[in-house]
Structure 1
Amino acid sequence: MAALVEIEKWLAEAVPGAIERYDVPGAAWAVLAGGEVVDGAAGVLSKATMVEATADSVFQIGSITKLWTATLVMQLVDEGKVDLDVPIRTYLPEFQIADESAAARITTRQLLCHTAGFEGDIFTDTGRGDDCVEKFVRELRGVAQLFPPGEQFSYNNAGYCVLGRLVEVLRNSPYDECLRDHLITPLGLTHTAPGPYEAILYRAAVGHIETEPGAGYHPAPVWSLVRSNAPAGSSLAMRPRDLLTFAQLHLNDGKAADGTQVLAPGTAGRMHDRQVELPDLGLMGTSWGLGFERFENGDALIIGHDGGTIGQSAFLRILPEAGVAVALLTNGGDVVSLYREVAGHVLEQLAGVHLPALPEPPTKPERIDASRYVGTYEADVLEMTVGQDEDGRIWLVQKPKGVFEELGGQVERKELLPYGENSLIPVDADRGMHLPHVFLGDDGHGHALYLHIGRAVRRAGA
């Protein structure tokens, strides 16, 4: 096993070349082992300003914020203020979605592990005031139910906004203040910003996006997504060392560095336990806990989460048994390839653990009858149409909608190949990976009811 000092040296030497290779403007990292942390950075925070990235620079952590929201909820469970298995309406009687029967049954546990079943990619802008999360939840009353609560996993951003509102109501404070009072301050974090007004006090990274494939990465036109989605990950930013201080809380059975019990003994472990299995989705985990993504890799369990905002991507991986964690924060480019090179080396050297292999398209694909898959699948932010031509080739046309279109998303056409049972996989990689497209259920006419890409996207008209 390599010593942490050797890892520190390797990162300082290897990452500058890697970010250039993968067209990543800037990156910052931190590694935890044996209770010690090393960190560093390379590249720039913005191509517009060319300000150098440093270890104390703050990057958005995106959906890794969901682990923080889940931890705030579990503190309420510790205090006896929340029962995970009663309807969320017990605490939020105003919660409504289009399906009244589902709304009356959805529980806090189902929201935490993404099995609530309603359309999840909702990014309604309800302003910048302290009441924005409250207003957001009110706007969910017309959102469609995709499947019965608890039936399957479907990643749900809106569900975490509901959880954020739960925290606000039971703490009688805005979400940002709850973060500060119950996590940021008890953990002694010094470079953590709930939003842009705090982030501007530090060296803050700017996301970079491609307006069209091959055009190169340029600074994004806006810094963050809307504040109403803060509990799901729209704006929380921090340096990697602060993110690993949060990880230490989960490695130390709920204790902060000064011994403060931020979570009750045993609660962190329950958050890490398996709650729901996932389809074979490649980069995502094999199962999910109460907030935590789980990668069951042979005898080794890796937990963590990924995050993506407007041109910023974040990765957190924790090995509970080894007491090892790595955080990588980036602001554009082929971030998956960079993550696999950095995290893969660190976890192998410090714990002898290999990252699970990414899915690859077959080298000798079979021709199949894709009639079960053909059709249009539609969600709030995208429309995906699967077709098969006269030569038997399968094509996917993906059109952005709503906020994704407003942010410059482009229509994409890609060829898909057969990949395992009920799955297709793109021929070409997207940002370093080939994402399997899994087809589930039956619409009653022999066609798949859902196209699952981490979210269960329902067949249009079904």
Structure 2
Amino acid sequence: MHEVGGWLQERLPALLGEHKVPGAAVAVSLDGQVVEHAAGVLSTATGVEATTDSLFQVGSITKVWTATLIMQLVDEGLLDLDAPVRRYLPEFRLADETAAAAITTRQLLSHTAGFEGDLFTDTGRGDDCVEKYVATLADTAQLFAPGEMFSYNNAGFCVLGRIVEVLRGKAYDDCLRQHLFTPLGLTHAAADPYEAILHRAAVGHIQPAPDADPRPAPVWALVRSNAPAGAMLAMSPRDLLTFAGMHLAGGVAPDGTVVLSTGSAAAMRLPQVTVPDVALMGNAWGLGWELFDWSGRTVIGHDGGTIGQSAFLRVVPDRNLAIALLTNGGNPVAVYAEIYRHLLRELADIEMPAIRTPPAEPAPIDARRYLGTYASEVADLTVTQDADGRLWLEQTPKGILAEIGERSEHLELVPLHGDTFVQAQPRMGLHISHVFVGDDGDGHALYLHSGRATRRVS
């Protein structure tokens, strides 16, 4: 681990400079021994230096924390994963009544519930905001039958957060503090901005143009109603590794406190559904955890993104290894790729797959299966082909994305293999993948999938 510490100390500052990342902190735990480093600044406006005890938002890594709160309820006999959600939330409604009555907690945990998921409705900052949010789902469309396939669902984790609130009789963030922060002995973690401000807290940075320098985001956090999905949880990399270490130890905290049963900790990383071939996501999903098959080994983890902050967590159970990287802007994917590739190779003999790029000479395609319009509550996606045979994706934001100023994009899709395409233009260093899935009965793809399934409408 001494060599790892030396490499991080030398390489991390250089990587941040190369990829316009204002600041970052990273921690590595191997058999309980921790090495951590930080570099850069928490805000370019203040120049406050990033330190190893600085708090960064972890975004959707929060979903694994929400899943852990759910599994604690299972351990206590208060919740059955395979019972309908309505056993615990009788008021749960969707546009499709049959689906709403059938959806289970297990399906919410594994992103297989099938309803629209990228919904970020602001229902205020009160302790009733998650309850109010769940009520707004009554008109939400069903994409596919519950359990049929994977489609990443933020809204589903807000429903899970509400289940936790109802069965615990307290607000979601209080559940985080009482049932996870305290038994884990965390000292640098915050469930909301009021706690975060007591620490050295990172500010997210955005770029007004792809080549522009990052500048502080105008707001610190997403809306509180989405807290169970990843709106505002923040912590140091070491505290994040304490949480991961509890899972590696079969649910036991560093001081011996049983936070989760051994059975539930193991169940959370059992595959529940395979994931389409999209970039940066795992091959399968468990109960909250992403599951990666790298070098024939199982790696578990999750990523997170909020307003100008990105977080990465990877855990290798058979090596007792966990790595956390927290960043606040720029091109974090390139930093993630180099750090994790090096550390996984050196510490676990795992070769991480290369970040996907478009082929130099893509094969010609018959695009008839793909052409058309696919729509969700937040965007219309229209696929066309030009006279040269190139495929194009027109993304037109609507709803909340249009309200916050997201602009339409005209993106080239380059064939990779089969029904998988990648964007020619990278975003934050990543050529996003799109997979055409299913059949509408007339030889056309039924969904355009980029981690979220968007259904064909014409």
TM range (shorter): over 0.9
Query: In structure 2, what residue type is equivalent to 1:224?
Result: A
Q: Does 1:199 align with 2:196?
A: yes
Q: Is the 8 A contact 2:222 2:232 kept in 1?
A: yes
The SS at the match of 1:419 is: strand
- Choose from 139, 146, 149 the match for 1:142: 139
Q: Distance in 2 between matches of 1:158 and 1:110?
A: 12
**Superposition pairs for residues 208-287 of structure 1, below 5 Å?**
208-287=205-284
Alignment size in residue pairs: 458
Residue 342 of structure 2 is aligned to residue 332 of structure 1? no
- The match for 1:79 is 76
Q: Which residue of 2 aligns with 1:127?
A: 124
User: Separation in 2 of the partners of 1:424 and 1:317?
Assistant: 26
1:6 aligned residue: 3
Gaps of 5+ in 1: none
Correspondent of 1:415 among 408, 412, 417: 412
Q: SS of the residue aligned with 1:442? A: coil
Q: Deviations over 1:317-344 (max 9, x none)?
A: 0000000000000001111110011111
Q: Secondary structure of the residue that 2:259 maps to in structure 1?
A: coil
The question of whether the paired residues in 2 share the 8 Å contact of 1:373 and 1:448 is answered with yes
Query: Following the alignment from structure 2 to structure 1, what is the Cα–Cα distance between the partners of residues 332 and 379?
Result: 22
Deviations 1:50-103 (A, max 9, x none): 111111110000000000000000000011111111101011101000000000
1:108 pairs with 2:112 = no
Identity of aligned residues (%): 62
The TM-score normalised by the length of structure 2 is 0.98
State how 1:310-325 maps to structure 2 within 5 Å.
Answer: 310-325=307-322
What is the CA–CA distance in structure 2 between the aligned matches of 1:45 and 1:335, rounded to whole Å? 14
- Residue number in structure 1 paired with 2:352: 355
Measured against aligned partners, the alpha-carbon deviations of 1:302-324 in whole angstroms (never above 9, x if no partner) come to: 10000000110000000000000
Say if 2:24 and 2:325, in contact at 8 Å, map to a contact too.
Answer: yes
Hey, what does 2:430 align to over in structure 1? 433
Distance 1:30 1:131 in 2: 35
Name the CA distance, whole Å, in 2 between partners of 1:155 and 1:376: 20
Counterpart CA distance in 2 for 1:400 and 1:212 is 18
Match of 1:424 among 415, 421, 424: 421
**C-alpha deviation, 1:455, in angstroms:** 0.2
The 1-side partners of 2:404 and 2:2 are apart by 42
Instruction: Indicate if the aligned counterparts of 1:211 and 1:408 stay in contact, CA closer than 8 A.
Output: no
**Per-residue deviation at 1:367?**
2.1
CA distance in 2, matches of 1:57, 1:357: 30
Q: 2:394 aligns with which of 380, 393, 397?
A: 397
Report how far residue 377 of structure 1 moved.
Answer: 1.5
Instruction: Decide whether the 8 Å contact of 1:74 with 1:267 is kept in 2.
Output: yes
Aligned-pair CA distance for 1:411: 2.1
Give CA-to-partner distance per residue, 1:279-313, whole Å, 9 cap, x none: 11121100000000000123211100000001100
1:188 is matched with which residue? 185
Structure 1 residue ranges (4+ consecutive) displaced by more than 4 angstroms after TM superposition: none
**Alpha-carbon separation, structure 1, partners of 2:409 and 2:208:** 12
Deviation at 1:110, TM superposition (A): 0.2
